């Protein structure tokens, strides 16, 4: 996230703590798009908090560390969880830290192939493919949001319309009835 949004990288950076939020303005097909990035921690101690993170998500980037095999093994659990909450959003798989050993780019990581997901080799340290991953994810998210056939998205759209209608009715009631006079206090 830092490499993409700030063109910076801090190797001593600690792991993400539960959730870090970022805002970004992008341009997709000539239109300005406001993007919220939710950088979630993959550590097991944060697992119970993940369900709420999927609300209104339109794309997912799942990252594993090529130097830590357990993070690759965790992809299956993370993907299952993602699909439990957001069955149809686009998902990209990223192999990070390729700068540590470029030979890793010759390896075959079957997880992405198994689920027919876009796959990228990335280095946050030197910037390899970072911008491409995020720009591709943003494009996928915009396309998904515009053409979603996801039941949960339809439910959320209806709830948003209901809330807007309710606010409109509340405003109209206030204007129609005017301010209320309070009885004089004794």
The DSSP annotation for 101-162 comes to -GGGGGS--HHHHHTT--EEE--TTT-TTHHHHHHHHHHHHHHHHHH---HHHHHHHHHHHH
Domains of the chain: residue spans and CATH? 2-177 (3.40.50.300)
The answer on pLDDT for 139 being more than 70 is: yes
Instruction: Give the separation between CA 126 and CA 133, rounded to whole angstroms.
Output: 14
Which residue(s) pair with 64 in the sheet? Answer: 95
Residue 38's CB is within 10 A of a number of other CB atoms, namely 16
Give the rounded distance of the alpha carbon of 91 from its chain centre: 9
* Segment 20-61, tens digit of pLDDT: 666 778 888 888 888 887 867 654 544 555 567 777 889 999
Residues whose CB is less than 8 angstroms from the CB of residue 17 and which lie 6 or more positions away in sequence, other chains included: 41
Residue 41: helix, strand or coil by DSSP? coil
pTM (predicted TM-score): 0.70
* Segment 84-119, tens digit of pLDDT: 888 999 999 999 999 999 999 999 899 999 999 999
159 confidence band (pLDDT: 50, 70, 90): confident
């Amino acid at each position: 996230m830092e490499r993409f949004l700030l063109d910076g990288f801090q190797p001593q950076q600690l792991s993400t703590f539960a959730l870090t939020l970022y805002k970004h303005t992008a341009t997709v097909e000539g239109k300005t798009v406001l993007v919220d990035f939710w950088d979630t921690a993959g550590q097991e101690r944060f697992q119970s908090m993940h369900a709420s993170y999927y609300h209104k998500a339109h794309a997912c980037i799942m990252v594993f560390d090529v130097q830590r095999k357990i993070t690759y093994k965790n992809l299956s659990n993370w993907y299952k969880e993602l699909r439990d909450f957001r069955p149809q959003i686009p998902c990209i798989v990223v192999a990070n830290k390729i700068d540590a050993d470029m030979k890793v780019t010759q390896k075959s990581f079957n997880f992405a192939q198994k689920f027919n997901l876009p796959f990228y080799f990335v280095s946050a340290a030197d910037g390899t493919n970072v911008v491409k991953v995020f720009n591709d994810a943003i494009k996928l998210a915009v396309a998904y949001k515009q053409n979603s056939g996801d039941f949960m998205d339809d439910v959320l759209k209806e709830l948003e319309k209901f809330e807007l209608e309710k606010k409109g009715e509340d405003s109209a009631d206030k204007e129609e009835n005017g301010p209320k006079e309070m009885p004089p206090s004794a």
